[in-house]
Amino acid sequence: NAGVTQTPKFQVLKTGQSMTLQCAQDMNHEYMSWYRQDPGMGLRLIHYSVGAGITDQGEVPNGYNVSRSTTEDFPLRLLSAAPSQTSVYFCASSYRVVAGGPGGQFFGPGTRLTVL
Amino acid sequence: SQQGEEDPQALSIQEGENATMNCSYKTSINNLQWYRQNSGRGLVHLILIRSNEREKHSGRLRVTLDTSKKSSSLLITASRAADTASYFCATEDRGSTLGRLYFGRGTQLTVWP
């Protein structure tokens, strides 16, 4: 299994440009999430999905869109990039935690985004 | 939004010593999880402890949970230089079936050879 994959690894954008960060998982996980990590901060949830066709907002959703047309893929779209969106973006997936299950989210390697 | 708070923010120890990190949170939870992040990498899940559990072990890791104090601790015994990383706690709200996690800001652990 490849686990959770993210592309690209690095990206530089100019203010106002749009782009899509790709995330895919091959573990048949129900849950997928996007986080951003800024220096000195923990991870903050942007959007999440509990299954194909179902998405919802996290703590910091403004400026980002998501969709989940398949179980495997969960792309994150930046509509009009701003310098405040300079960050490291992580995608994660997991099974629903059930009694006795191991739990825990699997994280991708991250995308380092700089907006000039 | 709820967020765990780790303490201390940074910890520096010698190889072979034990490392203890603490996490406090604000509301009732389903479970609390600990993650490790090596520099420039994604997070790796270490251990999950449910709200009805008080202690859990995994190899050199020992996690405790005190729901009355809304706190948890992560103990790494006999630390190694390879344990150098940031450690984060994350909580899932009680009653949540959505798998949403709230992360703290992390403890930066440095283990000197």
pLDDT of residue B33: 93
Of the residues B97, B103, B107, the best mutation for testing chain A's interface (the one with the most A CB atoms within 10 Å of its CB) is B103
Averaged in consecutive runs of 10 residues, what is the pLDDT profile of chain A (116 residues)?
92 97 94 91 90 91 96 96 97 75 83 97
* Binary contact (B45, A40; C-beta < 8 A): no
* Binary contact (B1, A42; C-beta < 8 A): no
* B3: pLDDT strictly greater than 70: no
| Structure confidence by residue, pLDDT tens digits, B42-100 | 999 999 999 999 999 999 999 999 999 999 999 999 999 999 999 999 998 877 666 68
Given CB atoms, is A11 within the 8 Å cutoff of chain B?
Answer: no
* Binary contact (B99, A97; C-beta < 8 A): yes
pLDDT of residue B23: 96
B62: nearest Cα among B78, B73, B51, B70: B73
* B2: pLDDT strictly greater than 60: no
* Binary contact (A109, B104; C-beta < 8 A): no
Question: Is residue B101 very low, low, confident or very high in pLDDT (cuts 50, 70, 90)?
Answer: confident
pLDDT of residue A62: 96
Q: How many CB pairs under 8 A join A and B?
A: 67
* B34: pLDDT strictly greater than 80: yes
The whole-angstrom distance between B61's CA and the closest CA on chain A is 15
With CA atoms as reference, the chain A residue closest to B47 would be: A104
* Binary contact (A102, B101; C-beta < 8 A): no
pLDDT of residue B30: 87
- Torsion-angle region of A49 (φ positive above 0: left; ψ -120 to 50: alpha; else: beta): beta
Biggest alpha carbon–alpha carbon distance for chain B: 44
The whole-angstrom distance between B100's CA and the closest CA on chain A is 8
* Binary contact (B42, A110; C-beta < 8 A): yes
Rounded CA separation A106/A25 (Å): 9
Q: Which residues pair with B96 in a beta bridge?
A: none
State phi, psi for B56 to the nearest 5 degrees: -145, 145
CA A66 to chain centre: 9
Given CB atoms, is A81 within the 8 Å cutoff of chain B?
Answer: no
pLDDT of residue B110: 97
Choose among A35, A58, A104: nearest Cβ to B33: A104
Rounded CA separation A45/A31 (Å): 13
With CA atoms as reference, the chain B residue closest to A105 would be: B45
Could you give the 3-state DSSP secondary structure of residue B96? coil
